[in-house]
Structures are given as C-alpha cells and as structure tokens.
A and B are shown apart, each in its own frame.
Chain A
Amino acid sequence: MEFFLVSLLNGVSYGLLLFMLSSGLTLIFSMLGVLNFAHASFYMLGAYFGYQVSRAVGFWPALIVAPLLVGAIGAAVERYGLRRVHRFGHVPELLFTFGLAYLIEEVVHLIWGRIAVDYRIPPSLDFFAFEIFESQYPAYRVFMMAVSIAMLGGLYWMLTRTRIGLIIRAALTHADMVQALGHNVPRVFMLVFGSGCALAALAGVIGGNAFVTEPAMAAAVGSIVFVVIVVGGLGSLAGAFIASLAIGIIQTFAVALDWSLLDTFRDLGWNGDVALSIGAIKLSQFAPVLPYVLMVLILIFRPRGLLGRRDT
C-alpha cells in the first residue's frame, strides 16, 4: 500500500511535469500549425536562465523572471524568424525550428560549457512535506505538482474566461475574420508562441534542479514530449494532460513490476531458446520504452490521438 501510494504520487508528479512541457508545444501547434522542434530547447534555456537568475537574486524571482525572458526570446523568434519563413510553407518552418534547436544547444555550450551546472533545489523547499506510512515525500515534488496544476488552471481560465482567450480561440479557426474585425492576428500568434516558450521555460526552471541542468537535457526530453502530444492528439490541451498523466503513471508502475513474459511462456508450454531470450526481459527493464510503444499503438488504432480532432 505504501509502495503503491508513493509510486502513484511519483507517477502523477512526473506526468504533471511532462504536461507543463508539452502544453506549450500543443498550444503552439493548434494556433500556428507549427510543430516546434526547438520546444525542448526552450525548456533547457529555462533551466539555465533559472540557474543564472537564482544565483543572482534567488530562486523565487527566478521562477518569474526566467520564463519571462525565455518567453521574450520565443516571441522574438516568432516575430523575426518564423513569420518570415512561414511564407514558404510548412517544411521550411519545420527545418527552421530544427535548426534553431541546434543553434540553442551550441549557444548553451558556448556560455555554460558542456558539463552540468550546479543548480540546486532552494533550501526553503528542501524538506519532507509529509509521510506516507514510513516513506517521506519530498516537498519539492509537491511544489512541482502545485505549480503545474496552477498553470493548468490558469491556462484554462485564460482561454475560456477572458477576452484575450476569446480572441485566441477565434483566431484558431477563423483567423481572417478576426483580422477583419480589427484584431492584430500576427501579434496574437507572437504572443501565443512566446507564452508557449515561457511555459516550457517554467518547466525548465523547476525541472532543471529536480533533475539535471546540462546541454543534453533538451535532447533527453525532446522525444517524450512529442510522444505526449501525439498520444493526446495534436493540438488538444486536455488530451496532452491525459496523455502526460497516463505516461507518467504507466512508466512508474512498469518499473515497479518484476514480472516477465517467461512465466507466461512456461504456462503456454513454450520453452525454446527464443522464449528464454525474449522472456528473460523483465517489464521493469522495458519501462522507459513503453511510452513509445503506446505512441505506435495510438498511431495505428487512433491516428488522431486520444482527444485530437483532426486526422494527421
């Protein structure tokens, strides 16, 4: 029971972090139709900025300042890069963001070097929040969950209850009409791209010290983020939320199980060499691959994703 609860909490907190990362990506995709390959790089920038700012003025200001800075960079990228490339169609856009990811990585190499920086959890959050039977649960994980739930709530509120949200949703389907009504649609797009990057950066600020802040971190999360939005359905925020939680929990529980196919094969009376070599792999060894298996299954049986509206 104790193990079950701890694992569930771990799964949920990892899932929520994944959601923070992927929400920006899926938001940008639904608005601009751009699959931003550099998204994970903005996550990395967030972590590095968070590290740098928190060294200067502390973690709490960094939590606000770093995402704003990265958001500004993101907005600039949209305004002066993506918008120009947009004229030439989708493939150049993809290539542009692809190149941008490399560019950001090299810049990070130049400024902070190739090895990890010493970005630590702030002492004010470095304690145990509560005990589950005999296990202590770290406060920082609780904090991570709180931030991403607050972010989800804020995003939902902004998109459904405010005027700007109204315009954004309208621009999503009827950009020309919104423009004709006198709204500056390109600026809305810039804003959305910037906020998407800022959200990734926020995940970076709180994920960078929970995990590790180094130049390879973008590549490490890049693939899993795409899995989340494909499984959830491209462009669907709610889908991304369900998919990230599901992936977080599936992965966590798969690790816990030492079950292997061997037993099943034996029950079926299959005892050959092949059965031995395949069956010896334990489910826990297989855990990190499961999200990708899930993605392949989704693409085969429901290509639009869990809550996606269009076939891709």
Chain B
Amino acid sequence: MQLRYGVAAFALTVGCFAGSAFAQPVKIAYIDPLSGAFANVGEAGAAQFQAVIDDINAKGGVLNGRKLELVKFDNKTSPQESLIQFNAVTDQGIRFITQGNGSSVAGVLIDAVNKWNERNPDKTVLFLNYAAVDPDFTNDKCSFWHFRFDANSDMKMQALTSFIAKKPSIKKVYLFNQDYQFGKQVSKAANDMLGKKRPDIKIVGDEFIPLGKVKDFAPYVAKIKAAGADTIITGNWGNDLSLFVKAAREAGLKSDFYTYYGGGLGTPAALGAAAEGNVKQITEWHMNIPGTKVEQFAVDFKKKHKIEFYYGRVNVEMRMLAAAMNSAGSDNPAKVAQALEGMFLSTEIGDVEMRKDDHQLMQNLYISTFTKADGKSVKYDVEDTGFGFKTDIELQRKDTMLPTTCKMKRPV
C-alpha cells in the first residue's frame, strides 16, 4: 500500500509539473470474446478492466503521468481467431496483452508470444493472464513472458480439499465436470488430493458432461441421488452450473456444492433461492469480505454498469502492472517482466506476491457460501437476488502454494 500510494503521489506531482500530458499512452490489448456465446463474459471483463484503468489514470497514470489505455480485440473464444487478433496487436505495436476466457486460448497465445519474442527481441510482448487456470501454464509450459493472476485449478482444488478434509460429516463425494481439458484437470486433482487427505471419503461418481450442451439436468441429479452423494465438487461454469443446481434443488437433493464459479457472471441470478446455503465458491475476493479497500469501488462500478465487480484479480493485475512499470522506470515488456518477478504488493484486496519460479500469483483465497443478505455479515447481495456470499474460511497465501515443475528460461 505504502509503495503504491507513494508512487502514485510522486507520479501525480511529477506529471503535473513536467506537463507530460502529451506523452503516449501505454496500450494494453484485451483479447477476449466480444461476440458469440460468451460475449457477455467478455464484455463484463472489459468493463472491469476499463474501470480499474480509469481509476489508475485518474490517480496520475504510470511512468510520470502517462495513461494506460485498453484496446479491445474480439477473439470469439476461438484459439484460431486469437492468433489473428494477436497479429493485429503486434501490427499496432501494442506490447501488453491480457486474456482470461479459456485455457485453450491462453495456451495458443503463450506459444504465439514465445515465438514472437524470440524472433523480435526488440519488440517483445508480455502476456498477463487473468483467468485461464490450466496448471500447465505455470508448470511444464511456463514462460518468462506469461504471468498468471488467478489461482490455478490445482491451487483451488488444494484449498477446497483442505476445507473438505476438516469436515468429518462428508463421506461420499461426487465429481461433476465439463468434458474438456479444464474439467478433466478438476476431476484428476480432486481424485488425487482427496485420496491423500481423506482416504475414507468415497468418490461415488466421476461424471463428465459435454460443454454447454445439456438442457435438462434432472437425469444426472437422479443418478447422483441414487449414488448417495453428500457433497458435489464441480468446475462447471455458466449454465452448466446454474441449470445443474436448479435441477438438484428441484429434486430435493440436499448435497453441498463446492464450485469454482458459483459467483460468475449471471450464475447467481440464474440460481436464485435454489442455491441458498448449499452453494460454495472459491475466489480471491468477494463483496462481503470486511475491510478491503475495493468495496466502494465495486459499489460504484455496480451502480454504473449494472453488473457485479467480480474479478478482484483484475484490480490486482492492473495495479501490479502499473507498479512494475514504475519501478522498472520503463514500459519495455522485458524490464516490466523482470520487475514483476517476485514482486510483493499490498493491494486493495490484500497482500499478494508474484512467485518468481513460475510467475503464479500468490494471494489469499476465500471459500464462501451463498447466503441470504442481511445487511450485516452479508452486507451486499449479488445480481439483485437478495443473496450474497459469506466467508466460510480465509486461506492464507502461503497455504495455497503448491510446488512447481517450472524451469524458467529467462532471456539473457
């Protein structure tokens, strides 16, 4: 906190006196879906980035008064389209990109950035990943040019299973995931970690459903019920989550849901009262954590855009980028990347650290439950449902860390 305010104040002063308002803005390319099935998610993400950037600019910008500028590129959640957009980004001379929706896209972008930087050492590009959670990106496939600001799926599973391990009432777990890379990883991690931490827990089902194709979840719920599961772990998002929970509650299934994306855009509204008390999520932040400095910002954001400020990590990502530029004294991606490595920062949502070994952000994680808003411990509801998230447990940064297999190759 000290560092950031200090720098901001310094930048503001210098900015005013030096009159560098004419300096070129630092452009950040946002490559995410702005059309197609996930356009709503992409648009919401863009609005949140823009709000944080506006705030940074209002407080003096970066590098003695230069502004940050978000440039949006539509990749339609498609890896091929993302490569085309990446070409457009490099053509326009933009040196920073950020993306989050889909590990399939992020994987392609990491390769593209690596290749580009190898061939164009004087025009390097830096990739800031805010939501693609494939653990490989900070393990075997790690890259000097990639930084991840979301906890990867293994870290989240580690946190969830530690929490589950302390609940003796949990006896039978059902794994319910989407049939693609991410869902498979959730399932594998759950199997491994539960097996170690609570060998007595029986995994009574390990189901994969086709991504976004199922309309009626009642048959799956009947199957889960027949299996006698008391707890369900799911990496599902969007309708694959909300329809599932609705069908479960309709059939009177009493199991608890441990989700990755229970608070994701549109999900709480679709869940409504169906989710009260039994849907949990794991996030780096939510509205009802007392004492975070981002609360008012999030309230203002919601008032203006009519959607929730969901990505606490977008805030962290932009503040860290600004701090790294300022401490490197440059907008050269290589120098910024060096400044980011191992960087420690006090942010609005707490202290965070960018691990040098693998470029994975370490931050506190929260497991919270969908609970009726009462204006006190659950001060804010989400998506005007009358329900908000209430913290069950706060996991400290150091407890979320996992060893990495990354052997980072740094440019000489």
Q: Is the CB of A214 within 8 A of B250?
A: no
Q: Is A260 an interface residue (CB 8 A)?
A: no
- The total number of A-B Cβ pairs within 8 Å is 104
Query: Per-residue CB proximity of A2-32 to B under 8 Å, as 1/0?
Result: 1100110011011000000000000000000
Q: Is the CB of B272 within 8 A of A285?
A: no
A135-B251, A284-B207 are contacts. A256–B242 as well, Cβ < 8 Å?
Answer: no
Partner of B242, one of A6, A114, A212, A287: A212
When distances are taken between beta carbons in the complex, the residues of chain B under 8 Å from A138 are 250-252
Q: Is the CB of B272 within 8 A of A118?
A: yes
Q: Is A141 an interface residue (CB 8 A)?
A: yes
| Chain A residues within CB distance 8 Å of chain B | 2-3, 6-7, 10-11, 13-14, 113-118, 120, 128, 135-138, 140-141, 210-212, 214-216, 219-221, 224, 251-253, 255-256, 284-285, 287-289
Q: Is the CB of B215 within 8 A of A116?
A: no
What is the minimal beta-carbon distance from A224 to any residue of chain B, in angstroms?
7
A212-B239, A212-B246 are contacts. A115–B265 as well, Cβ < 8 Å?
Answer: yes
Partner of A135, one of B210, B252, B266, B385: B252
CB neighbors of A among B23-46 (8 A): 37, 39-40, 43
- The residue among B207, B208, B222, B225 with the most chain A CB atoms within 10 A of its own CB is B222
Q: Is B220 an interface residue (CB 8 A)?
A: yes
Q: Is B179 an interface residue (CB 8 A)?
A: yes
CB neighbors of A among B312-367 (8 A): none
When distances are taken between beta carbons in the complex, the residues of chain B under 8 Å from A256 are 219, 222-223
When distances are taken between beta carbons in the complex, the residues of chain A under 8 Å from B242 are 116, 212
Q: Is B218 an interface residue (CB 8 A)?
A: yes
When distances are taken between beta carbons in the complex, the residues of chain A under 8 Å from B220 are 255
What is the minimal beta-carbon distance from B56 to any residue of chain A, in angstroms?
27
Beyond A114-B43, A135-B252, A136-B251, 12 extra complex contacts between A and B, CB < 8 Å: A2-B226, A13-B218, A115-B383, A116-B266, A116-B269, A118-B385, A120-B272, A135-B222, A211-B215, A252-B216, A284-B207, A288-B214
A138-B252, A140-B250, A212-B239 are contacts. A114–B270 as well, Cβ < 8 Å?
Answer: no
Query: Per-residue CB proximity of B201-236 to A under 8 Å, as 1/0?
Result: 000000111101111101110110110000000000
Q: Is the CB of B210 within 8 A of A289?
A: yes
Q: Is B192 an interface residue (CB 8 A)?
A: no
